[in-house]
Structure 1
């Protein structure tokens, strides 16, 4: 444990993706910023994430353990897909290790993974755990809650929308909105064009942003990792031209420059986005947002900094882009400063950590319908 007032904190992230720039997604960016902010406040951070993570993001690491079944086991009819087995083994190993070393090594464990085993095995840890719910309910996590009865972990969600979505399975669920380092997303001068950034995958609706930009008569800049190669090949790549440009997977500084140079950002989720990190990042750059009204996004976007339109409505998205381009960039930045800064997020998490450490039973919850 850490001496003085500092805490020793284990952060559990994805075993598939390293915590480094350019980030594979919003969850990886979130954990990286949280880890560095906790370190800056004098806490010791140990990180569980894929090999290749930024060594500066933590004081030490819990290694992801690989597993290869024997030829006989792989040929068995019960053999699962190799990625499923790799995930299962990685989390089974780290949770078993934490149950052995946790009480003498850590004050608190903060679970950001989307895997079921950390929740299912939380009662065996001997050290309090906080689980952040980054997604809508999944069958695997609901199963883990049914097994563990929710004991061993407290729960927070990244938005009120996400907390409400989980009310049937776990409560109470606190709300700690994601926060970004506002210094890393400086306000830009803007310009006439539109921008879309994030993971290029069908549920993010990149193809609808392309259609809306064309209807609005504006050039569109795209940036982000290709998470679905077939989607990119079939739906995005054929649409690329001088007015629809793809810049690849940019590092954070280059992405901030691109976002800050545009009139408005299009946000087009085809699912209920739990929070909407790209919304916060665009607003911090002073770039108003035009977004489908889904998930946690309406908790961030108001009429002073953007426009919300019906999900899937390309015409409304195009019209909203024209309106958003006339909004005050200073007001957009002010909204990010007021609602999306990392300082408030870290303060809230530290409050939860200290309650877990000092208040017996804080991590338990009562099951039942609302």
Structure 2
């Protein structure tokens, strides 16, 4: 098959990734190529090691800022310009288009395409996203896919079509299994923002007088300033945003991974990555979807109180790294891609 994957003409697929969606696009596209498919990805750029081809739409050399008719800053004007280039693209050579974007303008122009498509629902519904995707599915021959049962439950009421579930996955070979350091530090990674709730991990580490390493980009400067920076000390360390190889190296010295987001994670790639590294996981049920829970190596509590993580923390520190890795194998990106290919083939015979 010849497959077009839409991330967005201004979305970077270079490491370190902004989030799980970028990681999914890269690994899924690479796996498709390994299976013998031809894959083009619409994005700003990507690391050169990837197997797929990038289709890039250039910015205009002219000023795209608008201060009069429809006010917008330069960066937004350039995004509009690039999105319109996508709308002018000849997509007739592709068998399937796989959409993974959060930009309304992209769906406005891609609704004109008549190529069978898949829309992966990476985020929970909001009023804007719901209307955006409803419009798109009404006008384009696409089927919606959720990345977990939790996401399917949230999204199904918005569509007349059934929302299928294809669980997300990771490339297991990129995450080397290591023996967790029973006396090592606690580890937390993710966007530094209120909904990711790193503050709970900080409070837990402080209470236990244990070292904590925090990894991730600062998405909310005010939250970092008020809820993270004042608590950094010899025990609580912020490492900033790093690539997957570096995260894997840091995981080698940890004892437990903390998943403390108080918003409902659509899937939780970081949880699977740490389990694949042999590291047990403890967190809140909001941060660990049901599919990623295991009574021995990935324990979730319902309360949302960091105090309730203390007992399961003691329990998982006795777990075996092989058990962590074995559980993570259920979420191999090879299985994810195989399921998508089966869906692509079904769309082509309709």
Q: TM-score of the superposition, structure 2-length normalised?
A: 0.91
31, 38, 51: which one aligns with 2:32 = 38
Residue matched to 1:364: none
Distance 1:19 1:257 in 2: 21
Task: State the Cα deviation string for residues 134-191 of structure 1 (Å, max 9, x = none).
Answer: 0011323322344342642111111011011111112311111111011111111211
Aligned-CA RMSD value = 2.2
Please say if 1:292 is aligned against 2:280. Answer: no
Task: State the Cα deviation string for residues 293-350 of structure 1 (Å, max 9, x = none).
Answer: 026622211102122112531101233322221222221111101x211111010011
After TM superposition, the structure 1 = structure 2 runs for residues 86-101 of structure 1, keeping only pairs within 5 Å, are 86-94=78-86, 96-98=87-89, 101=90
Q: CA deviation at 1:60?
A: 2.7
Equivalent position SS for 1:29:
helix
Shift in alpha-carbon separation, 1:271–1:311, aligned structure 2, 3 A: farther
Distance 1:16 1:25 in 2: 15
Structure 2: segments with no counterpart, 5+ residues = none
Distance 1:44 1:110 in 2: 13
Asked if the contact 1:215/1:318 (under 8 Å) is kept, the reply is no
Q: CA deviation at 1:67?
A: 5.2
Residue matched to 1:190: 180
Equivalent position SS for 2:88:
helix
After TM superposition, the structure 1 = structure 2 runs for residues 301-340 of structure 1, keeping only pairs within 5 Å, are 301-337=293-329, 339-340=330-331
Distance 2:344 2:58 in 1: 27
Please say if 1:235 is aligned against 2:224. Answer: no
Q: CA deviation at 1:84?
A: 4.6
Runs of 4+ residues deviating >6 angstroms: none
Q: CA deviation at 1:42?
A: 1.5
Residue matched to 1:61: 54
Q: CA deviation at 1:234?
A: 2.5
Equivalent position SS for 2:217:
coil
Count of aligned pairs between the two proteins: 346
Asked if the contact 2:8/2:44 (under 8 Å) is kept, the reply is yes
Residue matched to 2:127: 139
Residue matched to 1:368: none
Task: State the Cα deviation string for residues 188-240 of structure 1 (Å, max 9, x = none).
Answer: 12112210012222211111111112223321111122222332232212211
Distance 1:243 1:176 in 2: 40
Residue matched to 1:160: 149
Residue matched to 2:17: 23
After TM superposition, the structure 1 = structure 2 runs for residues 343-362 of structure 1, keeping only pairs within 5 Å, are 343-359=334-350
Asked if the contact 1:161/1:295 (under 8 Å) is kept, the reply is no
Asked if the contact 2:39/2:52 (under 8 Å) is kept, the reply is yes
Shift in alpha-carbon separation, 1:221–1:334, aligned structure 2, 3 A: same
Structure 1: segments with no counterpart, 5+ residues = 1-6, 360-370
Asked if the contact 2:2/2:37 (under 8 Å) is kept, the reply is yes
Please say if 1:252 is aligned against 2:244. Answer: yes
Q: CA deviation at 1:93?
A: 2.6
Q: TM-score of the superposition, structure 1-length normalised?
A: 0.86
166, 171, 180: which one aligns with 1:176 = 166
Equivalent position SS for 1:79:
coil
Q: CA deviation at 1:49?
A: 1.3
Asked if the contact 1:129/1:153 (under 8 Å) is kept, the reply is yes
